[in-house]
Structure 1
């Protein structure tokens, strides 16, 4: 495991986007992925080339930076409860059907979050023939060194590590997330338990709404 971590840290670094300048990089990368690469969002709605929404002011943002080029490879965020409106809906509560409200009734919303906007630049996505969730053109791989390409699968784990950090630093005990079937299998194989709280629906692709117990807190009780 240490060799995997050391290899990742040799080529990439995790950055907390806690300044206005770094947040601009987050929004630029999200615009690139969600508006230009996938078409999930309408680029015309973001004329400045920055994809952001009403949840960003009270979210913790993270970036994965490629050390050699200085380019940002991936980003994610953990939305925290709105401090002025604790009962305000999280995105999952707004856009997904929830069947199991008994689970939610036991949660303290001060310690609840939602993981969202996990995205990786097309340049850094891996070939389908390797361990990956999405692929890129083989010609793009000429941009990277062979050792760098072998580290690409760990970008997904690095994004999960960012969420662990967000939970630990903000006293999050549980957080919402929406998962495509491929991501559900990926997390399950990694030993991360995702509790489905509603049906699979088409929201930028087929996704389940679910709840995840904070990884760090779960380990402390073991």
Structure 2
């Protein structure tokens, strides 16, 4: 795998995509429709419904991030950060139910940290037209050695990198330190190779395939973020700051 020279990532990314905080109801409904298309219609993870929107009770206290294609203006990908219920911080997040006996609590115990500063990354989804490739495993998002190209024919996985930088910006703005997730071990390896430090914290569980409970320590990751990613991150941070500020001021 090659960590490639990608020129000006900020400018190159902007040619194709924008990452936005989905704070207004109209954009949230667009996100829910993307989730329905990927999770319900395509992959069958959840049941289809007449509204063509995939949502659950955790969306009431989740930060939604959207990926927009510049050519069409359409939202083509998304991810959310589920926050603990503000009225019951001890209430488990979804991964805590699924991994109750799988987490190695000598590494980290979600029950014993400041739960106001933790989230769960979930509902990471990208429309098939922006994800599918020959030999794709059929997951809601994909990244492989193919995305990295070679030294002679470089490529770059803009979509997963953009979504992860977006969720990290949202986490910073909401003072989140611990970002938990269930991830394929392969995806975790590829993201780590790109500079996103993801720590496995337990044994694999069966959840739409084998998934491993993992955590990102935001401050640690940001201290080691590859320099070529910093300008894009800074831009996303300021754009999201403006959106959240405008919402709170309304």
Give the TM-score taking structure 1 as reference length: 0.83
The alpha carbon displacement at 1:196 in A equals: 2.0
Structure 2 unaligned blocks of 5 or more? 1-5, 145-153, 225-250
Equivalent pairs, count: 203
Residue of 99, 105, 123 corresponding to 1:117: 123
Inter-partner Cα distance in structure 2 for 1:42 and 1:183: 25
Higher mean displacement: 25-34 or 199-208: 199-208
Question: Do 1:180 and 1:208's aligned partners in 2 also have CA atoms closer than 8 Å?
Answer: yes
Inter-partner Cα distance in structure 2 for 1:28 and 1:61: 13
Partner of 1:133: 142
Does 2:46 match 1:41? yes
Residue of 165, 175, 191 corresponding to 1:187: 191
Question: Do 2:103 and 2:213's aligned partners in 1 also have CA atoms closer than 8 Å?
Answer: no
Inter-partner Cα distance in structure 2 for 1:190 and 1:11: 20
Partner of 2:105: 101
SS across alignment from 1:33: helix
Does 2:205 match 1:201? yes
Inter-partner Cα distance in structure 2 for 1:33 and 1:166: 23
Structure 1 unaligned blocks of 5 or more? 136-149
Residue of 15, 28, 31 corresponding to 2:36: 31
Question: Do 1:126 and 1:134's aligned partners in 2 also have CA atoms closer than 8 Å?
Answer: no
Question: Do 2:197 and 2:221's aligned partners in 1 also have CA atoms closer than 8 Å?
Answer: no
Inter-partner Cα distance in structure 2 for 1:129 and 1:40: 20
SS across alignment from 1:133: coil
Higher RCO (Cα < 8 Å, 6 or more apart): 2
Higher mean displacement: 174-183 or 195-204: 195-204
CA deviation digits over 1:84-111, x for unaligned, max 9? 1110101100122333224225521010
Partner of 1:212: 216
Does 2:25 match 1:6? no
Partner of 2:67: 64
Inter-partner Cα distance in structure 2 for 1:188 and 1:217: 10
Give the TM-score taking structure 2 as reference length: 0.74
Two-structure CA RMSD over aligned residues (Å): 2.4
Q: Which runs of at least 4 in structure 1 moved beyond 4 Å after TM superposition?
A: 215-218
